[in-house]
Structure 1
Amino acid sequence: MKNKYIPLLLFLFTASFLGFSQGATEYTGGMKVKLNEDGSKYFRIISWAQFWAQHTDNTTLNSTGNEEADLNFSIRRARILMYAQLTKKFLILTHFGLNSQNANNMGPVGKSDSSQLFFHDVWGEWQLTTDHSIGGGLHYWNGISRANNQSTLNMLTLDNNRQSWSTIGLSDQFARHMGVYLKGKFGNLQYRVSVNEAITNSLDINGTPTINTATYNGRAILGGAEASKNYAGYFDYNFLDQESNFLPYKVGSYLGSKRVFNIGAGFFYHPNGSTILDAQTNDFIGEDVSIFSLDAFYDAPLGDNGSSITAYLQYQNSNYGENFTLGQTYETGSMLYTHVGYLLPGDTDRKVKIQPYTSFNYRSIDAINDNATRIGIGGNLYFTGHHSKLSVEYSNQKYGNLDAVGTFTVQGMIYL
């Protein structure tokens, strides 16, 4: 065995040990502190971390022209979330942390951009009625799809489908918009709608629009009067067990603890979000950004043998502007995404559970008149449900006529 694989084996052993160190399988809701006798006033703190070891067969070079290592370690996520119910009517939530920290973006004294903690969410919410609430701030009450509202605590796959987080860095800060939202339910129909501010310093702020190719920097070029606001919504009908909409984060897999079947539809609309060069006037003009999605989610036990199935299907049509592409991640075109997982049979009270899964992403891309595909095959080893688990995944991604890239990733995760 090559020496370069020894660190990967050590990581597997360490992640397994950390998983068992959490203790008993019972989970009592994290660190919850009552502020009065009946517990109606409280605050709760949740903390989680995801550690990655990743091997890729794609040869890359650093800034000096030297070949990069093909085995790398990183902190995929390290987060702390706290929310407080001050009265039955009012809720405040704060959520901060860091993402994707590795040897290339760490700072010598922890002060580089990628080393810094930042707020992911900060919002306050007021309950209008028992089933309807209004709130505002830096929030995650997103539109488009279930996957665009995915929790990072309980995903079925190693990570969320990247293209389902459809506006990260283009109109928002790490999937969070600054704005106001309304959320609630009418019987079995849940909804969330929002009006938000678009960021000025987007990932595409330095993009140069041409006659045939749009860039997503409308607010920077056209100004806030024309391109500042965007609108989003997601609606899902709960046919079986009702999911909670107390917080916006959608569960990825219930491991058979609920019987859920939902069908949803959502949208995102940003007038003049993108810009393109007008051939007649040689001026930059705005193009509307619009994204629409339909999806379905099913999670249920299979008989009485402790097994369960989790399945998700999404169709998304994305219009970021004419022939828009950015980093093989965002493109004007359409996408079909699905994943399926199967929790293997066993005693329902067993501590260790195994869940193999597979995922598939197919995208049509207008700008290159070609397609992109990604296949993922992996599995989760649960020690204490999602609170302590080890995940492995092999993915193979093909983009247009470029060579396919295979990646093998191991993740150890704990959340309290």
Structure 2
Amino acid sequence: MKKTIILWVSLLACFSTLAQKTPDTEALKLKLNESGSRYFQVTFLNQAWFRFNDNNPGTTVNGSLQNQSFDIGLRRTRMQLYGQITDRTFMYFQFGQNNFNAQYNATGNRKIAPFFHDALGEYRVSSGNQLKIGGGLSIISGISRFSQPSIGTIMTMDVPVFAQTTVDQIDQFSRKLSIYARGQIGHWDYRFILSDPFPITSNGQTPPAISSSYANFSQKGHSLQQQGYLIYQFFDQENHTTPYMTGTYLGSKKIVNVAIGGAYQPNAMWQKSAQGDTLYQDMKHFAIESFVDIPLQNHAALSAYLGYFNTNYGTNYLRYNGSMNPATGTTLNASNSISGQGPVYGNSYPMFGTGSVVYTQIGYLLPSNRADLSNRLMPYISATFAKYDRLGNNSTTTFNAGLNYFIQGHKSKLSLDFQSRPTYQVNQGDVKAGNRLNSLTLQFQVFI
């Protein structure tokens, strides 16, 4: 690990030297009227990851056992097209791909990757932002700001993915076909959503068989999902152009918020009773959170978040997940690993489940004698404290610590992140905590 840290620091210095030559860029924006109130804009984003990972026990990569691995990948590659095309009509599209590394679709066709993330139209009913009605394929949702994050402005290396509660299960990478109302009235910011989820059978994976031990997403029946999110803003109002929520404003706004959110879908889950009958259960999620992002003296800034999540997917639901997993398989089986949803190999850990989660993060943009965001540093830490029913008395605690180097704000930045995550062992049906494992990732983000 020591040699790896030296390697990463060297790469960081190399990228810094090259990236400082990046010229200042303006948005690719076309005015549709003389004042510019009507416009159409295009953005591009790429997040390249260079990662060293301690693999979970039993991990295989293309059939070979590997305790550790190094991989290069594109965590996110996106193109946005959006604009205010009339005084009250807004349109938004996003196209791209995610988690593209050497193991992407290892047994299929690696060229099948990009897809439409969003495609929506929105009409502003009021003269201001008090009421907007929209519909289409969209990430807009309830629960939390991290359920609908602006990935180009993330403060940490990655978002807390557990807040995107049904990602790639009954949605399209957190997007659903929805109709919604959103707006800002005084200090209040609200959004109410009615979504038409996709069936679990269309997510490109073989759904697990119905179980008598734990709930899974139902493969029979269909119901709509209701979501809501309400924010009270003490000072400045948050950005409201798109439904995405900013990760950090880097001192450009004074934001102090409290928020509450939820989601409900009847009969979304199923399991078998002891007598063999099919039982259906509702999916219910709830969260309360606070977000602070404020400027300080000497052009410094503080960004902090604290949230409590109560997630209910039905009896003993648990799902493993690892971002851009660097592995392809495992030598473990149902007798010595946790069975159910998601791969237990590579960098995966229990990320989604019935239970409760506390998530927090804090970052500090270091002071500067210059007001711009060139050559600035922002260290951060984050922690996830989860307690899932399926794991009994074992908690799932994940820590991250990192450093952002803003070459030119969010347009060009380097991020170095260290993660410590848990593992679990199963012995005669009992789940016990195993050794903690680590990963070290360097990200280079470019965004115009």
TM-score between the two structures when normalised by the length of structure 2? 0.85
* 1:51 pairs with 2:48: yes
Which residue identity does 1:398 align to in structure 2?
P
Q: Note if contact 1:316-1:334 (Cα within 8 Å) is conserved in structure 2.
A: yes
Q: State how far apart, in whole Å, the 2-side matches of 1:229 and 1:179 are.
A: 10
Query: Residue 368 of structure 2 is aligned with which of 325, 331, 346?
Result: 346
2:153 match: secondary structure:
coil
- Give the 3 Å change call, closer, same or farther, for CA 82–381 of structure 1 in structure 2: same
**Aligned counterpart for 1:287 among listed residues 263, 281, 290:** 281
Q: Which residue of 2 is the match for residue 132 of structure 1? A: 131
1:147 is matched with which residue?
A: 146
1:257 deviates by 1.4
Distance in 1 separating the partners of 2:290 and 2:63: 47
| Structure 1 residue 103 displacement after superposition | 1.1
Indicate the residue corresponding to 2:347 in structure 1. none
User: Match for 2:416: what amino acid?
Assistant: V
Q: Determine the structure 1 residue equivalent to 2:162.
A: 163
Q: Which amino acid aligns with 1:122?
A: A
- Distance between the aligned counterparts of 2:111 and 2:434, measured in 1? 29
Corresponding residue number in structure 2 for 1:356: 379
Q: 1:292 to 1:140 in 2, by over 3 A?
A: same
| AA matched with 1:132 | L
Structure 1 position 165, deviation (Å):
1.8
**What secondary structure sits across from 1:383 in the alignment?**
strand
CA contact (8 A) 1:107 1:115 kept: no
The residue that corresponds to 1:190 in the other structure is 189
Change beyond 3 A, Cα 1:204–1:100: closer
| Correspondence 1:9-408 to 2 at 5 A | 11-13=11-13, 15-17=15-17, 19-24=19-24, 28=26, 30-58=27-55, 60-67=59-66, 70-105=69-104, 112=109, 115-129=112-126, 130=128, 131-200=130-199, 201-202=202-203, 206-216=207-217, 218=218, 220=219, 222-224=220-222, 228-280=223-275, 282-303=276-297, 305-327=298-320, 328-349=350-371, 351-369=374-392, 370-400=394-424, 401-408=433-440
What CA distance in whole angstroms lies between the structure 1 residues aligned with 2:174 and 2:182? Answer: 18
Give ranges in structure 2 of 5+ residues lacking alignment. Answer: 321-349, 425-432
Q: 1:125 to 1:261 in 2, by over 3 A?
A: same
Q: Which runs of 5+ in 1 are unaligned?
A: none
- Aligned AA (2:69): D
Shift of 1:147: 1.2
Aligned-partner SS, 1:70: strand
Distance 1:184 1:113 in 2: 40
Q: Is the 8 A contact 2:149 2:244 kept in 1?
A: yes
Normalised TM-score (structure 1): 0.91
Q: Which residue identity lines up with residue 310 of structure 1 in the other structure?
A: S
Task: Map Cα deviations across residues 58-99 of structure 1 (whole Å, 9 max, x no partner).
Answer: 263124234376221111111000102210111111101011
> Is the Cα contact below 8 Å between 1:170 and 1:203 reproduced in 2?
no
* Bigger mean CA deviation after superposition, 395-404 or 95-104: 395-404
> How many residues were matched structurally?
403
Stretch moving more, 165-174 or 386-395: 165-174
How much has 1:112 moved relative to structure 2?
A: 2.2
Q: How much does 1:40 deviate? A: 2.9
Cα distance in 2 for partners of 1:2, 1:127 equals: 55
- Mean Cα deviation higher: 392-401 or 65-74: 65-74
* Alpha-carbon spacing, 1:68–1:105, altered in 2? closer, same or farther (3 Å): farther
Give the match for residue 410 of structure 1.
Answer: 442
Root-mean-square deviation (CA, aligned residues, Å) is: 2.3
Question: How far apart are residue 286 of structure 1 and its match?
Answer: 1.2
Which whole-Å CA distance do the structure 2 matches of 1:235 and 1:15 have between them?
A: 41
Q: Shift of the alpha carbon at 1:399?
A: 4.2
Are the aligned partners of 2:405 and 2:414 in contact in 1 as well (CA < 8 Å)?
yes
CA distance in 2 between counterparts of 1:360 and 1:5 reads 21
The 2-side partners of 1:101 and 1:14 are apart by 23
Contact 2:361 2:381 in 1 (8 A): yes
**CA separation of 1:320 and 1:358: change in aligned 2, threshold 3 A:** same
C-alpha deviation, 1:162, in angstroms: 1.9
CA distance in 2, matches of 1:43, 1:83: 6
Letter in 2 for 1:316: F
Question: Residue by residue, what CA displacement relative to the aligned partner does 1:201-260 show, whole Å, maximum 9, x if unpaired?
Answer: 2478622232331112x2x2x222xxx311111111110111122211111111111111
Contact 2:54 2:68 in 1 (8 A): no
Distance in 1 of aligned mates of 2:52 and 2:421: 14
Aligned partner of residue 246 in structure 2, secondary structure: coil
Opposite residue 117 of structure 1, the aligned amino acid is P
| Kept in 1: contact 2:316–2:353 (CA 8 A) | yes
CA distance in 2: counterparts of 1:75 and 1:223, whole angstroms? 36
Is contact 1:262-1:297 (8 Å) kept? yes
1: CA distance, partners of 2:55 / 2:33? 56
8 Å Cα contact 1:140-1:177 kept in structure 2: yes
The structural deviation recorded for 1:18 is 5.1
Give, in angstroms, the shift of residue 183 of structure 1: 0.6
Identity value in percent = 31
1:345 corresponds to which letter in structure 2? P
